[in-house]
Every structure is written in structure tokens, then in C-alpha cells.
Amino acid sequence: MPISRRSFIIAGGVGLAAAGEVIAQTKDPKPDENCPFCKIVAGKLSTFKLWEDRHFLAFLDHKPISPGHTLVIPKQHYPYLFDLPDKQYGEIMSVSKRLAAPIRSAMGSKRIGVLVEGFGVDHSHVHLVPINGSNELTRKGVAGVTDEEFKKVADLLRSAIGRS
């Protein structure tokens, strides 16, 4: 059954009110002790890090869509990408762009697909996914990747990023 215009407007108003609450809560972000990405930033959870600076971190997705699937995160905990202050939003996109070229080259892919959905982990992140055609950005992904395989890909990507 289609949603009525009135219900749509009311739902939109509720969404805007909820968004205001989220923005108010994230102006001074604090690490979330239950967030796996905050644990990675704090060094409490291991990952295959590819690159980092003072504000951002890039590492391999542990459930990759394709080999080389990389996540770029802010080190501060913002639950939703659009909660990021404008400066950090621009910077995470700039970092993603900077990393895309060496990932694309190292993985031999035609393009780097970009995904932002934020439901898997409640911490802003950008997925950089090596792809070679349409319809490859699904969550079916690659199953059963070993630590040895992750290490190989991570080493390859670190080397390519270091050269860029």
C-alpha cells in the first residue's frame, strides 16, 4: 500500500527531529566502548591497517566484497557520515580519493566502487571496493579469506599506497 503524502510529511518531520538529536549528540564525539572501529583506533582490536594519519584510518574490510576492499574511517566516533563536520567530511572523501588510485592499480581493477550505508557498524566509514563491472557492489562478497591472504593483499596495498 502506498504511503500517503500526509504520512510521508509526518514521517519526514520525525526523521528531521531525530536527525537533530543525533547531530546534537555528536558535536563532541567520544569513543564508543562497544564500537569495533573505536577499538581498532585504540589498538584493542587487530586489523590489517593500510594507511593512517592523525584523523583517519584505512584498513581491509574483514568481510570483503572483493580482494582489496578497504574501509576508511575517521578516528573520532561519528555514527553517521553526514554527522561529520564539513571539514572532516571533505577530508574523508579526499582521503578516499587519494587511496583509490593505488588500490585500483595494485588490485588491477577497472574502477573503485564507493559505498556508504553505515548499518553494519555504527561508526562513519567509506567502503572502497575494487570492481570490474556493474552489479559487483553486493554484500555477497568473498568468504573464507585466511589471515595469510589478508596479509598478502595488505602488503601489496601498503606498498602501492607508499609509492603514491
Active-site residues, by number, are 125
> What strands lie across the sheet with 56-60, from one edge to the other?
49-52, 56-60, 70-74, 126-131, 111-115
Distance separating alpha carbons of residues 58 and 51, to the nearest angstrom: 5
Q: Is 157 buried (19+), middle (13-18) or exposed (0-12) by CB count in 10 A?
A: buried
> CB–CB of 22/80 below 8 Å?
yes
Distance separating alpha carbons of residues 40 and 52, to the nearest angstrom: 12
Distance separating alpha carbons of residues 116 and 125, to the nearest angstrom: 7
80's grid cell: 553517521
Count other Cβ atoms within 10 Å, centred on residue 18: 10
